[in-house]
Amino acid sequence: MPIPGAIIVPHPPLIIPTVGRGQERGIQATVDAYRAAARRVAAWAPDVLVVTTPHSVMYEDYFHISPGASARGDMAGFGARGTELSVAYDAPLRAEAIRIAETEGLAAGTLGERSPALDHGTFIPLWFLREAGVRCPILRVGLSGFSPLHHYRLGRCLARAAETLGRRAVFVASGDLSHKLRADGPYGFAPEGPAYDEQVTEAMASGDFLRFLTMDQTLCDRAAECGQRSFQIMAGALDGLAVKPELLSHEGPFGVGYGVAVFEVTGRSETRRFAAAYAAAELERRAARRAAEDPWVRLARLSVETYVKSGKPLAALPDGLDAGLTGERAGAFVSLHLGGRLRGCIGTTAPTTDCVAREIVQNAVSACSRDPRFPPVSEAELDGLVYSVDVLGEPEPIGSPAQLDVKRYGVIVSCGMRRGLLLPDLDGVDTVEQQIDIARQKGGIAASERYTLQRFEVVRHT
């Protein structure tokens, strides 16, 4: 079998004794499981390790595979000078993987490397594998902003490349779980943190790789995980293969979830091809989402789809619109998401047209075509877009950040003619300080400058 197995492992630096200096005993179950997983890999006698890591180069629209003949890394950045290792890259396997990915329409290659040094997401698994006697070359693969299916397909390409070259390849999916497990942890607590860890470890224990693909992206984002896309690539690498799943450990005493799992390949299985099942699940989810959209969101979708397909805005408002759309004036923001990530957001803080409906129509067109952070939305992306419309209340001046609430109020930070606005209740914005800082930076306002604050409420339509 070209792929004898795969492992999922975390990458907390303190698990290395020279870094942890005793703290690693606080995650002893993870240490023990890591060593057990490394021994299993050693027993599989791989020719190459394919390491997927969230801490290598990552681009929104490109899979980066590390170039060169070799690389080195160390733990100096974590206070452990002298803890270092070097590794050779499997250049022929890299070239074949890139060739196959290109034939599959996947953007992957060696462009855009920022640093050749091994990141800690790669270093830490290699440290344990070296300890177990595994010293073969590696392929280091970064993640991307692409969809779960794209990551799965890349895994299939990597596996095909190994099979084509006759490599006995073991896949090492490096990734921590939620970073939001404890209020006293370094990243705080979110209820989605334990929920994510429960779901993802159930998938590890059962070998249900479809769950790696279909897990709710909002849950993943709010849980602040870093390994999900790494697990998706691994799942693709094991496409069509029967596995024996073993969850060796899971713990999170420091507020970050660490899971160690081993998947030994036991043969082939046509029932374990998950791309088609994922596509079907996505179609069902999109249909349900469209059916649940309210009139504000349906109007935003109609505006975007009309403009992207024809190059022209709506010629007239549809008949039968809600009176709240045609009989009121207000500022409105239209936000587009694709694959759980922002794809465009444009709005007006005060009304510029004669009704909310026209405000939505013009801002929807701007969100899909004029947001300077993104290229224009393509027709191929339309089916996957998720919309939200925020209708803004009248801003009111406030004298102190204490009068803000990130869940209830948006904020406008002003300094002279410069203004920055941030909507309320956004993923990843958990404190008033964060909210003000982001809005200030959007307005090009330095922290040292004197600025004023306004707050506003919104009605969010989804």
pLDDT tens-digit series, residues 153-193 = 999 999 999 999 999 999 999 999 999 999 999 999 999 99
Query: In this predicted model, what pLDDT tens digit does every residue of 330-344 receive, in sequence order?
Result: 999 999 999 878 999
Q: What's the CA dihedral at 276, 169, 9, 58 to 10 degrees?
A: -70
Which CATH number, 3.40.50.300, 3.40.50.2000, 3.40.640.10, 3.30.700.20, labels domain 293-391?
3.30.700.20
User: Where exactly does CATH 3.40.830.10 map onto the chain?
Assistant: 5-280
Please report, in angstroms and rounded to a whole number, the separation of the first and last CA atoms in the chain: 48
pLDDT of residue 7: 98
Looking at residue 1, its pLDDT comes to 64
Helix (H, G, I), strand (E, B) or coil at 156: helix
Taking the CA atoms of 61, 213, 160 and 50 in sequence, report the sign of the dihedral they define: positive
Cα(323)–Cα(462) distance, rounded to whole angstroms?
A: 18
Structure-block tokens of residue 305: 């789809």
pLDDT value at position 339?
80
One-letter amino acid for residue 317 of the chain: L
Q: How high is the pLDDT of residue 358?
A: 97
Q: Is the pTM of this model over 0.95?
A: no
* Token pair of 435 as six digits: 């909210």
In whole angstroms, what is the distance from residue 39 CA to residue 129 CA? 8
CATH code 3.30.700.20 region(s) in the chain:
293-391
Low-confidence ranges of the chain (pLDDT < 70): 1
A 10 A CB-CB count for 80 gives 18
393-462: what fold? Dna Ligase; domain 1 (3.30.1490)
The alpha carbon of 263 is separated from its chain's Cα centroid by a whole number of angstroms, namely 23
- State the sign of the Cα–Cα–Cα–Cα dihedral 201, 207, 209, 211: negative
Report the mean per-residue pLDDT for the chain: 96
- Cα separation, 285 vs 417, whole angstroms: 44
Architecture (CATH level 2) of domain 5-280: 3-Layer(aba) Sandwich (3.40)
Please write the tens of the pLDDT for every residue from 415-440. 999 999 999 998 888 899 999 999 99
CA-to-CA distance for 155 and 266, rounded, in angstroms?
18
